[in-house]
Amino acid sequence: MTTIRLTMAQALVRFLAAQRGETDGSEHALFAGVFAIFGHGNVAGLGEALNGARDRLPTFRAHNEQAMALAAVAFAKASRRRMMACTTSIGPGATNMITAAAVARANRLPVLLLPSDVFAGRRPDPVLQQIEAFGDPTISVNDCFRPVSRWRDRITRPEQILESLLQAMRVLTDPAECGPVTLALPQDVQAEAYDYPEAFFAPRCWRIRRPPPDPARLADAAAALSQARAPLIIAGGGVHYALACDVLADFAVRHGMPVAETQAGKGALAWDHPRNMGAIGVTGGTAANELAAEAGLILAVGTRLSDFTTASRSLFRNPLALLVQLNAASFDATKHGALPLVADARAGLDALDRALASWTAPAGWTAKARDLATQWNATVTQATAPSNTPLPSDAQVLGAVNRAADPRDVVVCAAGGSPGELHKLWRCREVGTCHVEYGYSCMGYEIAGGLGVKLALPEREVWVLVGDGSYLMMNSEIAPSVMLDKKLNIVVLDNGGFDCIDRLQRSCGGASFNNLFPNGSGIDFAGHAASLGANSRKVASLAELEGALPEIRAERRTSVIVIATDPAASTNAGGAWWDVAVPEISDRAEVAAARAAYEVARARQRAIG
């Protein structure tokens, strides 16, 4: 057996550079690069190894470990599960990535996290940035990655990567198990040499599997659908990851079935597709939510059916409703007492299409859905129309951005009020142009996520909508976007604090408390963005914004526009109840009234199946 002597870090980097991926016959480098913030623990080991392989595996500099890992997560989402790796120093550099790992796990997205670790040999213990566990010397801060990783290992011998990397790749490329993988790398082991088999570094292609449905389960699902008088499809993020948007569009037309979209499924169909009912759930529109309340059969495709989608299990009100869950992961397929159809979304829809043959939903149901969609689209037009109000709403700002964007442009957003408005109101003129992180609702994702999207789709214009609260949490990746020449169009909605949570606080009977600045933020966001290298300006009105948006789209460098918005305004149309527990006891009459309404709403909760 021919061997090659390398340090563990050199072997790991060489292995990653050799990995290929294939989906439906299209082959690509599986790892697009490595985000790295060098420090104590990785600068000597992985830093040297990455420098030696920079022509085969690019290294990208970042300015915040959480941000770079969020960018890697966004890259995976935008590229339909291609991936990047992230390496950090020991201690705070490592633990800074834990939030991003949770985002990846919640959203079922692959990212390889390579936090440095303390000495496996323990000779210099305690080292800088080491937290000692008094009762267990095997514990390090990297054990914090256990609950947020799909697979995790600590490499204490250089030869352990021979098995560990293969297991890591298995998880990263599996549509059912997909999620973050963490390999903790002690700094002494990174630098240790071993005689690795040369064959370990041969190019290896990981073909993304498309598991077909079980024939018996398929027959059950087809039989249920063929009897359905009021069927509804719910499209989740799995439709995008399975590259099944075109199949879904054809399936819905052929069988006359209306389609509602989750936050992750948004953009599975173009907004004006004849079967697109728009957003569903807490941040949904009236068309999708009214159909969901009446539906006798729900075909959920590639969704984990979170509480925002099901309105905390209160949305499906037909007592005879049957849920069919088409999902690559059996864990998700069996939720809510569903009839599980475990399969890849594309393969499952193809199989259902063949099994249903010429069956179509009743014409009256399809016509009703079309009428509801028409009414909802008129509501969207009204909510996003410009006005002369002193402070525009979030809806009016996103309407202006929507009109300024080209059909292929991608919009990026995450936590706060804007994702709800985007889910309801943003019109995707092309499939796959809405990128919202709402699986973990991570504040600070927006700008870092925009950078990840731009790295995945460099030919597209990327629009980032971010509130002032999220901007203050995480803005550092404006600087890398300028440095890497990955231009972003960033719109900062300065609503004077955490407006979304303030509205939630008041809806639960609470007093406005600790969420909004007393007199607006007063922060010069435009000046701050300029200091990071961006083109920036503040506009005083919606009309001024409308004029500025085409100008920043034409810029070649990252641009930031700041506009003050009304913290109290949100779109009242659409939406559904959300289970947010209201205190049983309070001195405030408003809380008591909210608690009474809460108990009435809870009575509508049910599990379908």
What digits encode the pLDDT tens for the residues 540-552? Answer: 999 999 999 999 9
Predicted local distance difference test score (pLDDT) of residue 26: 87
- May I ask the CATH class of domain 384-564? alpha beta
Tens of pLDDT, residue by residue over 579-595, are 999 999 999 999 999 99
Rounded to 5 degrees, φ, ψ at 414 are -145, -115
The pLDDT of 331-355, averaged and rounded, is 97
Q: Where are the domains of the chain?
A: 3-207, 215-376, 384-564
Return all residues near 171 (Cβ < 8 A) that are at least 6 apart.
Answer: 110, 150, 151, 177, 178, 179, 181
DSSP string, 235-258: E-HHHHHTT-HHHHHHHHHHHT--
Q: What local confidence, expressed as pLDDT, does residue 595 receive?
A: 97
d(CA 216, CA 500): 46
Q: What is the CATH number of domain 215-376?
A: 3.40.50.1220
The bridge status of strand 434-436 relative to strand 462-467 is unpaired
Transcribe 412-449 into DSSP letters: EE-SSSHHHHHHHH---SSTT-EEE--SS--TTHHHHH
**If you average pLDDT over residues 44-48, what whole number do you get?**
97
Distance CA 521, CA 519 (A): 7
439-493 confidence digits (pLDDT tens): 999 999 999 999 999 999 999 999 999 999 999 999 999 999 999 999 999 999 9
CA 128 to mean position of chain CA atoms = 35
For residue 459, the number of C-alpha atoms closer than 13 Å in the C-beta half-sphere is 3
Are 97 and 66 spatial neighbours (Cβ–Cβ below 8 Å)? yes
Say what the pLDDT of residue 571 is. 93
Checking if the pLDDT of 1 tops 60, the result is: yes
Q: At residue 107, does pLDDT exceed 90?
A: yes
Residue 143 CB burial class (10 angstroms; 0-12, 13-18, ≥19): middle
State the number of CA atoms in the 13 A half-sphere of 479 facing the CB: 12
Question: Which residue reads 């099901």 in tokens?
Answer: 310
Give the contacts of 578 (CB within 8 A, at least 6 positions apart): 282, 307, 308, 311, 312
Is the model's pLDDT at 189 over the cut of 80?
yes
Q: Is the distance from CB of 449 to CB of 473 less than 8 angstroms? A: no
pLDDT in tens, 113-140: 999 999 999 999 999 998 999 999 999 9
Task: In whole angstroms, give the CA distance from residue 226 to residue 331.
Answer: 26
Band of pLDDT at residue 607, cut at 50, 70 and 90: low
CA dist., res. 351 & res. 344, Å (int): 10
Q: Quick: pLDDT tens for 386-415.
A: 998 889 999 999 999 999 999 999 999 998
Mean pLDDT of 524-538: 97
Task: Decide if pLDDT at 609 tops 90.
Answer: no
Judged against a pLDDT cut of 80, whether residue 535 lies above it is answered with: yes
Fold for 3-207, please state it: Rossmann fold (3.40.50)
Q: Give the mean model confidence (pLDDT) for residues 82-89.
A: 97
Quote the mean pLDDT of the chain: 96
pLDDT at 600: 95
Q: What pLDDT shows up at residue 16?
A: 98
pLDDT one-digit tens code per residue, 153-184? 999 999 999 999 999 999 999 999 999 999 99
* pLDDT tens-digit series, residues 270-288: 999 999 999 999 999 999 9
